[in-house]
């Protein structure tokens, strides 16, 4: 069944969607569809992740003798919103406008990988939407149909973590409530499913992971032993050389993060994900690699850590779906 990548209503073919008026490109209908919704509270780092992730993915595909090609208006929108301010001007990105100010429109790219033609859709959702709109609002319909619901959680806004790191790094004040938004995303997803929709995965991403790695500098032997342990998945980034998602590495990272959240007394993150009623996986990323300077990228530049993990995991899920594996 052909569906619009914005509203996920049925469409007869390429052209304007009769429901939301999006120009549905033929590439979306003719290729294997992979879709991500990137959600999270204000200042969680959603847009920065998308900007750095897609820049890295372009290099990754080039190393595999493939090319990343923007579809429709994506080239202009990605260049103006993400590439110029972040990668050229080295500034932090502004907040994503809420849905009542600017209609949600997915970013779309096509590429071939390991003989399979894909079309990737990424929806960058404003954190304010999940704080103000009803879960049944039709603008959340995409949450019932995307392959990966990706929710960013800033560790410094989780009470147990901020208590440990307060005084070591700058703990954000008066910003969005990450756990509240996570629960709101899941409520909206439940409201939009209506008993139908594809198998989905919840990706809970601990963003700005570089701040957690600062724990190795505390005097406590507990944190030093955890963050200086040889072979830890929290200390390496194999994404640019691993091809499709490395399930063994991903599972190890997931288990390490579960244990870390327990030690940080941040079980509420695990509880929210467990109660979602769908498979979930923990990720750790740092799009910038270091704490920024006020409103600009740090003087050391952008040094991304594991920014491809979620995207490669989504591709691996799609590959399993195509081959009929669970």
User: What is the Cα–Cα distance from 140 to 125, expressed in whole angstroms?
Assistant: 9
**What is residue 302's predicted lDDT score, i.e. its pLDDT?**
81
Identify the residue whose tokens are 């200086």.
228
**Residue pLDDT, tens place only, 250-282:** 899 999 999 988 888 888 889 999 988 899 999
The bridge status of strand 148-153 relative to strand 201-206 is parallel
Give the predicted TM-score (pTM) of the model: 0.91
- Token pair, residue 58, equals 């372009």
Length of the chain equals 326
Taking phi over 0 as left and psi of -120 to 50 as alpha, with beta for the rest, 24 belongs to beta
The 3-state DSSP class for residue 207 equals: coil
**Residue pLDDT, tens place only, 59-87:** 999 988 899 999 999 999 999 988 888 87
Domains of the chain with CATH codes: 31-322 (3.40.50.300)
User: What is the Cα–Cα distance from 98 to 204, expressed in whole angstroms?
Assistant: 22
Give 302's contacts (C-beta < 8 A, 6+ positions apart).
52, 86, 87, 287, 288, 289
């Amino acid at each position: 069944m052909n569906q619009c990548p914005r509203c996920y209503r049925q469409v007869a073919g390429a052209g304007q969607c009769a429901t939301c008026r999006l120009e549905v490109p033929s590439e979306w209908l003719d290729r294997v569809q992979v879709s991500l919704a990137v959600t999270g509270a204000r200042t969680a780092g959603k847009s920065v992740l998308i900007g750095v992730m897609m820049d890295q993915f372009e290099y990754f595909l080039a190393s595999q003798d493939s090319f990343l090609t923007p579809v429709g208006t994506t080239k202009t929108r990605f260049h103006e919103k993400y590439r110029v301010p972040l990668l050229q001007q080295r500034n932090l990105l502004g907040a994503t406008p809420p849905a009542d100010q600017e209609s949600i429109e997915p970013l779309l790219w096509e590429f071939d990988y390991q003989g399979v033609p894909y079309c990737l859709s990424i929806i960058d959702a404003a954190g304010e939407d999940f704080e103000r709109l009803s879960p049944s609002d039709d603008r959340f319909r995409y949450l019932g149909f995307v392959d990966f619901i990706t929710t960013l959680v800033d560790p410094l806004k989780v009470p147990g973590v901020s208590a440990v790191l307060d005084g070591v790094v700058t703990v954000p004040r008066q910003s969005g409530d990450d756990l509240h938004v996570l629960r709101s995303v899941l409520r909206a997803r439940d409201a939009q499913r209506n008993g139908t929709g594809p198998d989905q995965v919840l990706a809970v991403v601990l963003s700005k992971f570089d701040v957690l790695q600062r724990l190795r500098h505390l005097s406590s032997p507990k944190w030093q032993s955890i963050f200086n342990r040889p072979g830890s998945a929290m200390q390496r980034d194999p994404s640019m050389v691993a091809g499709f998602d490395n399930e063994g590495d991903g599972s190890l990272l997931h288990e390490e993060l579960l244990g870390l959240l327990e030690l940080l007394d941040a079980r509420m993150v695990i509880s929210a994900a467990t109660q979602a009623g769908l498979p979930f996986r923990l990720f750790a990323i740092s799009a910038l690699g270091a704490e920024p300077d006020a409103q600009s990228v740090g003087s050391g530049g952008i040094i991304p850590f594991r920014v491809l993990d979620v995207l490669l995991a989504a591709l691996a899920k799609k590959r399993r779906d195509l081959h009929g594996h669970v």
